[in-house]
Structures are given as C-alpha cells and as structure tokens.
Amino acid sequence: MEPHVLALACDAAHRFSKRRVERLTLEAGIGVVGDAHAGRRVQHRSRVAKNPLAPNLRQVHLIHAELFAELAGSGFRVEPGQMGENVTTQGIDLLGLSCGTRLRLGGAALIEITGLRNPCHQIDGLAKGLMAATLDYAPDGSLIRKAGVMAVVVTGGEVAVGDPIVLESIPLVHEPLEPV
C-alpha cells in the first residue's frame, strides 16, 4: 500500500479531540490554518506556561492508522482526530523516521518531523487505560511512545484526504525521535 493521508482533523479551540475535515491548509512556519496549535511560538497550554517564547515544534500532529488497528486489538475503539492529531496516515512507519525527515503531503505541502508526541493523561478521557496502551517498552527497558509524531511546516499547501505521502528527504545520519 502506498503511503497516503487517511484522514484530516482540525479545531480552532483547545480541545483534546479535533473535528474531521476533508482538507486542510498548511502554512509555512505556522502549521494548520485555523487550528488552535498553529503559530510560530509554542501553542500547547502546558508548554506556553513553561516558556511562551519557545518555538512551536508541534505545528502538525500525525498518527499512523496502524496504531488504531493495534488499539482495537486491545479493545479500544479510536477514530481519526480523537487523539488530537491533524493527519492520520496509512502505509508509513512514522515512529521509525529520523528527526529531520521531510514528508510531502499531497502536491505542495512539505513538513519536517521534529519528534514524538508524548502521550498525556487526557488520552484516558477517551477510554480508561488508553494512555497505557499507547506506551510500550523496548527490550532494553526504554519507553516506546506510540501516539504519533510532531512536525513543522516547511512549505505550505493544501492537503486532502487520500493525498499521497512522499518521503522527500532523510537526514544522512539517523537521529532517533525524542518527545517534543
């Protein structure tokens, strides 16, 4: 299966889940037009409280649909947008990408992966135990965060459900993703 955009979501208010839409506009250096998390500076409330002048490395949140299938196997029913993501992907290993990887969404929009989404307790608001289900442990005991990745917008453009996702560039040296 070719990597593609399975679903899109956006919300102008700071709510956990986002409303599904058929298309989004991404703006370079800002994020998803009309989304509460768009901006050059950090927009997530907890991060604004710590340092309102920090750059926004979380302009676009992506989750792989394969996670929803995994969660369904554990008894959780999660739909695109419910975990606060803007872009639900299918057919690409988001968690295996290097920091700095660039993805083209549709024909014009280019994003750069900045790191992992660190799941928070709000996930349990969807279903008790869901946050724990988005975490795992590697054989070395390190924590694996499976709740998607964050990105910044390098080149703006419109993205629609069904659009292809193209791996545009990969850093020469793989830099494992860390929470941002």
Confirm if 97 and 149 have CB atoms less than 8 A apart: yes
- Domains of the chain by range and CATH? 4-169 (2.40.33.20)
> So what's the pLDDT on residue 135?
97
Structure tokens at 68: 């929803």
Pairing of strands 4-10, 87-90: antiparallel
Q: How far from 83 is each of 115, 154, 156, 175, CA to CA, in Å?
A: 17, 24, 24, 25
> So what's the pLDDT on residue 120?
86
DSSP assignment letter at 180? -
> So what's the pLDDT on residue 166?
98
**Above 90 in pLDDT, residue 45?**
no
Which tens digit of pLDDT belongs to each residue from 105-120? Answer: 999 999 999 999 998 8
User: Using CA atoms, how far apart are residues 166 and 180, in angstroms rounded to an integer?
Assistant: 23
Which tens digit of pLDDT belongs to each residue from 133-151? Answer: 999 999 999 999 999 999 9
Q: Which residues in 130-168 are b (16+ Cβ under 10 Å) and which e?
A: bbebbeeeeeeeeeebbbbbbbbbbbbbebebebebbee
